[in-house]
């Protein structure tokens, strides 16, 4: 049947084949274990990243809400500013009107004060003339009245 060298060669080939097959099987198993561990690590990393992403999204939403609230406050303040600027412009216009009225009143007062001073000189002259008439100094009365006649005329009084 089979010769001994053929059987030995077959046996050696079977042992070598079994050893090579076993080695390949162990290498494949080790590689599968490493791959499974890498997949577990990757899944764990993905879970951590998803959790971090969820936290970042929540923070982003909070910041957006704060931003929207800040923008609403800014809009309100700008509206208040615009209203205050309008009120200021109105107040400035009213102040200008009041200043014009005050200037006119001051000018009128100065004119009246000047007229009053002229009228005062006229009245004093008339009083002096009346005193002169009271003591019988008719010439003094005439001289005094002639002296204040232009003053009284400029005050709007005719002697």
Domain boundaries, the chain: 4-154
Question: What pLDDT does residue 1 have?
Answer: 62
Cα→Cα distances 40→30, 36, 48, 108, Å:
15, 6, 12, 100
Task: Report the share of the chain in percent with pLDDT over 90.
Answer: 74
> pLDDT tens digits, residue range 105-125?
999 999 999 999 999 999 999
Question: What pLDDT does residue 20 have?
Answer: 87
The answer to whether the beta carbons of residues 148 and 125 sit under 8 Å apart is yes
Question: What pLDDT does residue 159 have?
Answer: 63
Question: What pLDDT does residue 135 have?
Answer: 95
Is the pLDDT score of 2 beyond 70? no
Report the C-alpha gap between 88 and 96 in whole angstroms.
Answer: 12
Confidence of residue 158 (pLDDT cuts 50, 70, 90): confident
């Amino acid at each position: 049947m089979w010769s001994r060298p053929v059987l030995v060669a077959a046996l050696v080939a079977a042992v070598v084949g079994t050893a090579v097959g076993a080695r390949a099987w162990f290498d494949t198993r080790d590689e599968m274990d490493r791959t499974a561990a890498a997949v577990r690590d990757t899944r764990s990393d993905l879970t951590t990243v998803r959790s971090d992403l969820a936290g970042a999204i929540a923070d982003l939403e909070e910041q957006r809400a704060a931003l929207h609230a800040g923008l609403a406050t800014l809009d309100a303040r700008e509206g208040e500013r615009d209203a205050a600027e309008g009120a200021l412009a109105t107040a400035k216009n009213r102040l200008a009107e009041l200043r014009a009225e005050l200037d006119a009143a001051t000018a009128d007062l100065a004119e009246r004060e000047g007229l009053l001073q002229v009228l005062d000189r006229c009245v004093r002259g008339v009083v002096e003339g009346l005193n002169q008439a009271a003591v019988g100094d008719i010439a003094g009365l005439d001289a005094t009245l002639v002296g204040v006649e232009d003053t009284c005329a400029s005050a709007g009084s005719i002697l």
